[in-house]
Amino acid sequence: MKHGFVKVAAIAFEVKVADPVTNAERLIAAIKDAAANGARVIVSQELGITGYTCQDLFLQDALLGAAEEALIRIADETKDVNALIYVGLPLEVDGKLYNVAAALNKGEILGFIPKRNLPNYGEFYEKRHFTEGIPEVAEIVFRDRVVPFGMNILFESDAVKGLIVGCELCEDAWVAKTPSTSHALAGATLIVNLSASDEIIGKTEYRTMLIKALSGRLVCGYVYATAGVGESSQDLVFGGQNTIAEYGTLLSQGKLFGNETVYADIDIAKLITERRRMTSFETTPVADYVILPFELDEELTALTRTFPRRPFVPEEETLKKERLEQILSMQTEGLKQRLRHIGAKKIVLGLSGGLDSTLALLICVKAFEELGLDPAGMITITMPGFGTTGRTYNNACEMARCANATLREISIKKAVEVHFEDIGQSADKHDVTYENSQARERTQILMDIANMENAIVVGTGDMSELALGWATYNGDHMSMYGVNAGVPKTLVRHLVRFYSEETSNAALSAVLKDVLDTPVSPELLPPKDGEIAQITEDLVGPYELHDFFLYYMLRCGYTPDKVYRIAVVTFTRKVEGEEYYDEETIKKWLKTFYRRFFSQQFKRSCLPDGVKIGSVALSPRGDLRMPSDASARIWLDMLEDI
């Protein structure tokens, strides 16, 4: 359970209607199987001890007594199970019958949570048998045991920081004022739901949407276990589609009518971080809640959860296409608004033939088209230097031609050589001054031409470069509007590829595909045999690793050891067509990431304007208010202890 992960399960078993003895046997087997698979919170269906479809048999003393005996047996036979367990049964309290969830832990019955909202419409007639539960918690005597009874009971783990579990039953999740809302505001980070949701056409999709929405709105994990095989088909059919969600994301779902136990690793630490970040989410101690402890043995949760290699890029193809279109539109709208506001009809863009300047040009093309501006107002400038190769130079020229943009060529070699003489820099000394002088000369050219043309300089640097500080201060670091500031490098590549596939301009498509095949490089060192000599990812590390690190550090608040753990889970799996990284390589570049992220904040503190695209952004005016002289020590120390 280190790093805040806890494995949960929504179990399935074949219920036998009105047979608590058989159901207890099957529940015990399913619970033990789930625990053997690592589940530490285990949830079963509504009224699972008796079956949901008993109808007027719920009024029979024989059934109620047998259900109580079954619960005692389940508690006794799971005393060695390392889990918090929820089972459903009918329970008589003070002459009234309640539909309850019983919470069990290591042989003890910790509490009974009654269902609040009893459906009595359509195919449901629960008020014929049951009484609505009340929030207030009282103590009742159950078979010589004193047990808390009431809706407002939460259970807090002694082994997983922040794991507080609340419970609701079926219809409780479908109403406007859900018990889970109160539970979450009282501190619950995990909600369990014991349900018996029958199937009618269209309900499956709605139910899934509902569960995802609840987990998102409440910033919690949500475990939904529902009735399936064995319930009476006299008038209804039950699909048994167990579902687990976390903060709006579906983590696991069984097949409809598959009667599957489903598992997921809930990230409690991430949920706590998210709530802490969201100042509008106010958890406050509630006087009428009772929070009871439950025991778990401390252990390292074996992760079965997967993490996207490229968290900034949607994995599902249809969604990816929609998202990429939206991102291009967002970048375009940002630039359009800036041009409209200042009345500019021209832009100046340094076009290198690399990925970032390519994407920036595509955004300019879209903005000029939508504003009805003359494409000749896109003044693209190629500025060959000491490291420029024929491949990138030719691609830059061809792209400008395809875009009907104005293309100017201004070599920086002579100006930089004069500058070297002025400052006493040897042209044979290929150090940081040699490189940065070229970047700053290019920026000066762009800025001055923008002044001459009454235009603005459109910046090309992306978010990954900003995170690593891989930009020359007051060189390519500076512009008048940065269209790529909210786009990480892995996403830049997908956007350019998407554009190449969607455009009807065959010549443009061809050059875009060659840009995609060109190694990422600042091209500031002389070529070797005409080829690029300076490969960025050889120097600072693979961008797919850095984007992964960036997302889970900033968006999820993960500690360095947790980032390392999930990176190892993700990148040491050998997947066809994907790069493989061993643990030492991951650790090496993760250290580089933290060192550069902290040391280079001063460059981000004075960024040009640029539109925010996703949930991670580095603008000092928005998401990242970070001191430029913050120490990275504690983050790096955590990696030394691995």
Nearest to 52 by CA among 27, 85, 22, 15: 15
Which SS3 state, helix, strand or coil, does residue 628 take? coil
Alpha carbons within 13 angstroms on the beta-carbon side of residue 621 total 8
Neighbours of 454 (CB within 10 A): 11
Angle value at C-alpha 625, between 622 and 630, nearest 5 degrees: 155
Contact 298, 1 (CB under 8 A): yes
DSSP summary character for residue 266? E
CA distances from 494 to 436, 460, 554 (A): 29, 16, 22
Give, to the nearest 10 degrees, the angle between helix 543-550 and helix 560-571. Answer: 140
Nearest to 64 by CA among 30, 39, 100, 91: 91
CA distances from 515 to 186, 340, 394, 400, 638 (A): 53, 31, 10, 13, 39
Amino acid, single-letter form, for residue 4: G
Contact 514, 553 (CB under 8 A): no
Following CA atoms 216, 219, 221, 224 in sequence, which dihedral angle do they give, to the nearest 10 degrees? -50
- Identified catalytic residue from 54, 170, 220, 556: 170
Contact 360, 389 (CB under 8 A): no
**What span, in angstroms and rounded, lies between the C-alpha atoms of 33 and 523?**
58
**What span, in angstroms and rounded, lies between the C-alpha atoms of 47 and 20?**
10
What is the side-by-side order of every strand in the sheet holding 96-105?
138-142, 145-149, 108-114, 96-105, 84-93, 41-43, 5-10, 262-267
**What span, in angstroms and rounded, lies between the C-alpha atoms of 449 and 84?**
68
DSSP states of 60-98 as a string? -HHHHHHHHHHHHHHHHHTTT--SEEEEEEEEEETTEEE
Token pair, residue 571, equals: 């990148």
Nearest to 190 by CA among 238, 228, 147, 223: 223
Within 469-558, residue ranges assigned H as helices are 489-502, 506-517, 536-540, 543-550
- Identified catalytic residue from 7, 46, 260, 366: 46
3-state helix, strand, coil in the chain (%, to 5): 40, 15, 40
* Residue 156 annotated to the active site: no
At 9, which helix (H) or strand (E)? strand 5-10
Beta-bridged to residue 138, according to DSSP, are 149
* Residue 46 annotated to the active site: yes
**What span, in angstroms and rounded, lies between the C-alpha atoms of 176 and 255?**
28
* Residue 325 annotated to the active site: no
**Dihedral of alpha carbons 571, 575, 577, 582, sign:** positive
- Identified catalytic residue from 115, 212, 270, 489: 115
Residue for token pair 């309290």:
93
The catalytic residues are 46, 115, 170
